[in-house]
Amino acid sequence: MAPDTTIRVGVRTRSLAEPRLQYIRQLGATDIFVDHADVDEEPDEFNDRDARATLAVGRDAIPTVADLEAAKERVEAAGLTLTGIQSLPYSLYGDIMFDREGKEAALEQITTLVRNLGEADIPILGYQWNPRGVVPMRTGSAELRGRAQGTAFDYDEIDDPDALAPGLDREYTEAEFWDNYETFLETVLPVAEEAGVEMALHPVDPPVIESMCGVPRLCRSVENFEKAMDLVPSDNHGLKLCLGCFSQMGEDVTDVLRTFGERDQIGFIHFRDVVGTVPEFHETFVDQGNFDTTEVVETLDEIGYDGVVIPDHVPAMTDDTDWRHRARGYTVGYLRGVIDTVQST
């Protein structure tokens, strides 16, 4: 018998169809983060293309309280908990990020979503301040053990990293981007506090780089996360702490966990790892990257973390499905084995 764990393992999924939820429950995971995945807008290999029985979240597609409650019931019927929305699509924050027309409508939609989540008692809204779909995220792939494939990034493979992104007619400064982000926080965080919802901020990916294609990359370092958390102080603001992104920064991820854990600013954790750091790295299996998985889980145990860890990107394995059932199952199994062992001793 496994010990009762306080560090829970969750899974992100767009599909809430019964076979998907059954499979996740079979893995011994407990929590679901539902993926917004506007596949038309941001198609990439991490998206989940199975769109049946899902909860759409996008521009002009804000789920009502009834929609959220129905999704929650569906998840609970499978023996799982609907703990949060994994992320917001770029369509919902892009206009705010760039202080463009449409910003007011976007803020209105996001605050409506936050209120609805609160009413439906879904406690976490993940988000990012990342120019996804505007600026390149990866440049290639790497061969892992057994010829599995992981995504790769090499800054030198980008032809012209200073060429303006499509749709931009000028570069943006970091100062104005912080201003735009502050507007977002000033509008959304008070609503989150009232609603009892925690906003959880993901790093830019790749991090470290200050600006690409004319777009400043705010959430690129520990220092900037501290700034982001201090900008509009709120107990309802924390990190979607992607271990892979902090590993890509070259940070000691256990220090990062201690820093933000001490301040109670870890919303939830993306558990993935890479080999190498910016400007050149590739993703890999969770047991083969820069950090020691056991040491990370020991740190989580020491700081008393009682939230959720989820596998994020997972490698492409032989004959796997689009959603990567095999790779996700392997990763959940590995994490649960480490967690059960750390927490039993």
Q: Supply the DSSP symbol for 124.
A: E
Which residue among 11, 85, 266, 335 contacts a second copy (CB under 8 A)?
Answer: 335
CB of 145 to a second copy, least distance (A): 6
Which residue among 192, 291, 308, 312 contacts a second copy (CB under 8 A)?
Answer: 291
According to DSSP, the β-strands at 81-85 and 124-128 are parallel
Binding segment (CB under 8 A) for a second copy, from list 47-55, 119-127, 129-137, 291-299: 291-299
**Quick one: CA torsion of 173, 182, 33, 301, rounded to 10 degrees?**
100
Which helix (H) or strand (E) segment holds residue 301: the answer is helix 293-302
Q: Per CB under 8 A, does 297 bind a second copy?
A: yes
Q: Per CB under 8 A, does 323 bind a second copy?
A: no
Burial 15-27 (b: 16+ CB within 10 A, else e): bbbeebbebbbeb
Binding segment (CB under 8 A) for a second copy, from list 162-170, 191-199, 205-213, 323-331: 323-331
Binding segment (CB under 8 A) for a second copy, from list 50-58, 91-99, 175-183, 335-343: 335-343
Which residue among 270, 285, 308, 310 contacts a second copy (CB under 8 A)?
Answer: 285
Binding segment (CB under 8 A) for a second copy, from list 48-56, 91-99, 139-147, 158-166: 139-147
Beta bridge partner(s), residue 58? 61
Q: Which of 215, 185, 177, 179 is nearest to 201 (CA)?
A: 185
Q: Per CB under 8 A, does 337 bind a second copy?
A: yes
Which three-class secondary structure state does DSSP give residue 201? strand
Q: What stretches of the chain adopt beta strand conformation (E)? A: 8-13, 31-34, 81-85, 124-128, 140-143, 149-154, 198-202, 211-212, 215-216, 237-242, 266-271, 273-277, 280-284, 308-311
According to DSSP, the β-strands at 149-154 and 140-143 are antiparallel
Which residue among 13, 265, 293, 299 contacts a second copy (CB under 8 A)?
Answer: 293
Q: Per CB under 8 A, does 19 bind a second copy?
A: yes
Which three-class secondary structure state does DSSP give residue 210? coil
Q: Per CB under 8 A, does 203 bind a second copy?
A: no
CB of 245 to a second copy, least distance (A): 18
**Using CB under 8 A as the criterion, which residues of the chain lie in contact with a second copy when the complex forms?**
1-3, 19, 21-28, 78-79, 144-148, 285, 287-295, 297, 315, 317-319, 325-326, 329-342, 344-345
